[in-house]
Structure 1
């Protein structure tokens, strides 16, 4: 009987010290959320493109051109000093005025509400489209930009007057550019 207990104990110790096995997940996601998001964003992009093209066709007095940055731009006016001016570079201080309106013409923010701004190029927060648009301008120039939502305030809007996924129009005038050395 004593041998039987010893054998049983050795057997129990041998098989009781098994390494833990990894548990399998109960549900496996295959990335369907990402695929759905891609489809939704493509539809949103196409709808915005159509709305912007319609706006450009109905406002044919301005010559809008697609920029390499993913928005549309039309040159409104040039003051004489703009021909002698340079494009702003990194850390230059740009003094400008701008307004924001919707594609249907409704003014969202007037230039007086947004007030005159001093912006240190690429060193301060500014929505993507405007930051890139300022790089295309010289002092004394006025441009009108059409920004698709991803270049404007994107998915969240400005959490005030600009809704989510809203393309906007902005007329921007650069008053001066102060070069930093």
Structure 2
């Protein structure tokens, strides 16, 4: 009987010392949704870029600039290079309107009213936030934003639908650097 207890104890110890095995998932998912989304977004961007390029070719007397941030713009009114551009935390005052890629007004300047925005500390759609950083006081610039730089997949839940490229004419009225308290 003693042999059986010893053998049983050795068996239990041997089984108990086995390292735990990782459980495998019942089903595994691949990254196919993300891959399809990437393909869909690349096609959408190419289509919007093509449309903007047609607009630019139709206006050869306008000097368009390609932004490093993935949008295009041109100056309606440009001021000298001596003025500064807004920096993080600066308070900017500006007016703007929003149009479709076909030139239909979505929001007029009277709809959007004069805006006051603290650079990079408040909500503003990506393209406009990046566009303001390129401007100087007194300049008026027309920006052409692909939908990913505008309101993207969700739109603005009002007048701008999903995946709508936008054209915005922006006038930067003033830049105020806040005083720091020591």
What do the CA deviations read for 1:67-107 (whole angstroms, capped 9, x no partner)? 112110101113xxx43532111211111100000111111
Give the aligned partner of residue 53 of structure 2: 53
Q: In the superposition, relative to structure 1, how do residues 89 and 22 fare at CA in structure 2: closer, same or farther (>3 Å)?
A: closer
Distance 2:140 2:42 in 1: 32
Question: TM-score, with normalisation over the residues of structure 1?
Answer: 0.83
Give the aligned partner of residue 152 of structure 1: 150
Give the aligned partner of residue 160 of structure 2: 162
Give the aligned partner of residue 108 of structure 2: 110
Give the aligned partner of residue 36 of structure 2: 36
Q: In the superposition, relative to structure 1, how do residues 137 and 22 fare at CA in structure 2: closer, same or farther (>3 Å)?
A: closer
TM-superposed CA distance for 1:127, in Å, is 0.8
> Of 115, 129, 132, which residue of structure 2 is paired with 1:131?
129
Q: In the superposition, relative to structure 1, how do residues 23 and 72 fare at CA in structure 2: closer, same or farther (>3 Å)?
A: same
Distance 1:30 1:89 in 2: 42
Distance 2:14 2:85 in 1: 77
Q: In the superposition, relative to structure 1, how do residues 23 and 51 fare at CA in structure 2: closer, same or farther (>3 Å)?
A: same
Q: In the superposition, relative to structure 1, how do residues 15 and 163 fare at CA in structure 2: closer, same or farther (>3 Å)?
A: same
Give the aligned partner of residue 86 of structure 1: 84
2:70 is paired with a residue whose SS is: coil
CA RMSD of aligned residues (A): 2.4
Q: Which runs of 5+ in 1 are unaligned?
A: none
Distance 2:117 2:16 in 1: 68
Give the aligned partner of residue 62 of structure 2: 62
2:111 is paired with a residue whose SS is: helix
Q: Which runs of 5+ in 2 are unaligned?
A: none
